[in-house]
Every structure is written in C-alpha cells, then in structure tokens.
Amino acid sequence: MTASIALMLILGLFFNYLFTKIKLPGLLGMLILGVLAGPYVLNILDPEILKISADLRKIALIIILLRAGLGISRNDLNKVGSTALKFSCIPGIFEGFTIAFISTKILGFSFIEGGILGFIIAAVSPAVVVPQMLEFMDKKIGTNKGIPTIILAGASIDDVFAITLFSTFLGLYSGNHVNIGIEIFKIPISIILGILFGLIIGLVMVWMFKRYHIRDTKR
C-alpha cells in the first residue's frame, strides 16, 4: 500500500505539471490518472487502497478547506462578508431548483428526482475552486474588489446548503418522513456551531503556542 500511495503522489504531481504546461487544468490530469491507475483500466494500485479511499477523500477535503481558510485575509473578509454570505446561498439555491424544474419538463423526472439531480450539480467542488482562487490571490487578480475572497468564503458555505437540500430530497425520495422546515433550520445552526467550534479550537491553539514555544515545522 505504501508503494501505491507513493506512486499516486509522484504520478499525480507529474500529471499536474504536464497538463499545466499544455494549458489545461492540472486537476484534469490527476482525474485522468486516477481513472487509468484504477481497477478498471491498468489496475496498478494495491486493492487495499480502495478500502481506505473514503478516508483519503476526507483527508484531501480537510486539507483543501484548510488551505481555503488560511488563504482568506480577515480584513478582506470583513469588507466583503455580506456579499460572500449572499453568494454562498442564493446562486446555489436558484441553480438547484432551476435544474429540478427543467428536468421535470425535459427528462420526465418527478420534482423530487429533479431536486436530487439539481443539488448534486449545484454543489461547488472545493478541489476546483480553492486552488484557482489561491492562484488568483498570488497573481493579484481581482483582489482589489475581493473577488477571490468572496468566492472562497461563499463556496465553503454553499456546500452546506447543497448537501442539506440534497439530503432532504433524497429522504423524500426514499419515503422517509423528512421535516423540510427542520432540515432548512439546521443550515444556519450547523454554520454557527462550526464557527463556534473553530473559534474555540483556534483560541486554544493560539494560547498554547504563546505559552509553549513550538518550532514552526511542528506547528
């Protein structure tokens, strides 16, 4: 398994570099690599990798969201906070319900099936958005109006709305009794609790680093 992880990392970096050089997204190269190396094409990875793939995806998502959070300046966020909040929910909700309605007319879906499809598509992919916005920040593209900050902050919260509404439609489709009002009420509660837990952990870590000197590499 260790060799497979090393192979994924090395080839992933190579494919990212290769696709960037030919003016294509590096992520596209890594996705193609995953298909080629997987069990349905070349099958060069240890089968045990598939058993821990869910955990690997979760670790990758945590790292991506940490990069997003650490890449946002608090001063910039204060300036565009209200815009980022509106950006986080309004486009995704409109997109999800628009796809749900159109799919009933074009694809013959029920509205519940359309809602499932709509909020799968409406969910923002942090793996795509975060690296691109951080690159824009490095190149000072759109930073005078805080556009990368708006998108970074909005994309993180957008997924909370998309996942909650997707889960609601999925529960309705499977016949489970779902209280839509309660599910929607959970959205701001989950955001507020996430902020509170993050703030508490952050304050504890700041206190710890000030009281006990730790080298930056260990931090």
Find the domain containing 214 and state its range. Answer: 188-219
97-116 pLDDT per residue, tens: 999 999 999 988 888 889 88
Q: What is the pLDDT of residue 14?
A: 93
- How far is CA 190 from each of CA 109, 120, 158, 163, 183, rounded to the nearest angstrom? 31, 20, 13, 12, 11
123 and 167 in a single domain? The answer is yes
For residue 148, the model assigns a pLDDT of 83
pLDDT in tens, 21-54: 998 888 888 889 988 888 888 888 888 887 888 8
Contact 173, 112 (CB under 8 A): yes
**pLDDT tens for each residue of 40-98:** 888 888 888 878 888 888 888 888 878 877 777 777 777 777 787 788 778 888 988 99
Residue 56 lies inside a defined structural domain of this protein? no
The pLDDT, as a whole number, for residue 98 is 93
On whether both 81 and 171 belong to a single domain, the answer is yes
Structural domains counted in the chain: 3
Is residue 6 assigned to a domain? Answer: yes
Shared domain for 167 and 95, answered yes or no, is yes
Asked if residue 59 belongs to a domain, the reply is no
